[in-house]
Homo-oligomer: A and B are copies of this chain.
């Protein structure tokens, strides 16, 4: 039986899946081998070390490798040019970057997408295009609005095979910076998941410009509206609520990601009276890779 490998290779994470040609997952690796950890750009050795674990099951020498994510960026293995985001999703598979591995097998890198967003600003994605293609396959609705929450959240709108808009929101990174370094969390206890604080933050963040409400994580503590245990949850709510204000006119939203973060967005969207549907990010990634392989 033929097999292939699908790799989600990002800046900090590396996930590799061994699949049958019927797209059944046989084995899965998740390792701290993100781009930042790879010395001297020796991606070849790092990849081989990982897939070698499967050498008793498959013939490594002929095992094709399909990769998506920042591995195709300037800091990655090969810088694969972005495709225009106006491309039909079903055409991405014609544009995989193909090369031969040192040990003879074929490798492919999925190109990212680039285009002007609704704010008339250039925007980019690498990795999410694969999940988006998977989401398109998994969800029958002709129009889809989706959030891919994370360090850099992506908001995407799809009609059939076309991306009608996508843009990046830095919610995750902003939370990390404010949570770690800002005056708002100075002398505040470690993160504790406080639902009430989170929802109050969602409400205030949704209704107001971001920079006008951030300081309230401090002033609501001063006037006793929230407790010190709630500050970090409130701050998280402020940022997520404010992000969701960008989808003010959308009622039906898919959330594509890992369980914990998707749950936060789900809770926030429900609180705001929206229809939210969580879709497993890994399932979308694998469905996307399946679509890229097509009849190969």
Q: How far apart are the CA atoms of A211 and B114 in the complex, in Å?
A: 19
A261 interface residue (CB < 8 Å to B): no
Name the B residues within 8 Å of A225 (CB-CB): 122
Which residues of chain A from 105 to 121 have a CB within 8 Å of any chain B CB? 114, 119, 121
A170 interface residue (CB < 8 Å to B): yes
A245 interface residue (CB < 8 Å to B): yes
Name the B residues within 8 Å of A213 (CB-CB): 119, 121
A45 interface residue (CB < 8 Å to B): no
A193 interface residue (CB < 8 Å to B): no
Copy tally for this chain in the complex stands at: 2
Given A152-B215, A209-B245, A212-B246, verify A223-B168 contact (CB < 8 Å): no
Pick the contact of A122: B177, B183, B211, B216 (CB < 8 A): B216
Query: How many A residues are at the interface, by size bracket?
Result: 35 or more
A204 interface residue (CB < 8 Å to B): yes
Contact with B along A243-278 (1 / 0, CB 8 A): 101100000000000000000000000000000000
Chain A residues near B (Cβ < 8 Å):
114, 119, 121-124, 151-152, 167-171, 173-174, 177-178, 181-183, 204, 207-216, 219-220, 222-223, 225, 239, 242-243, 245-246
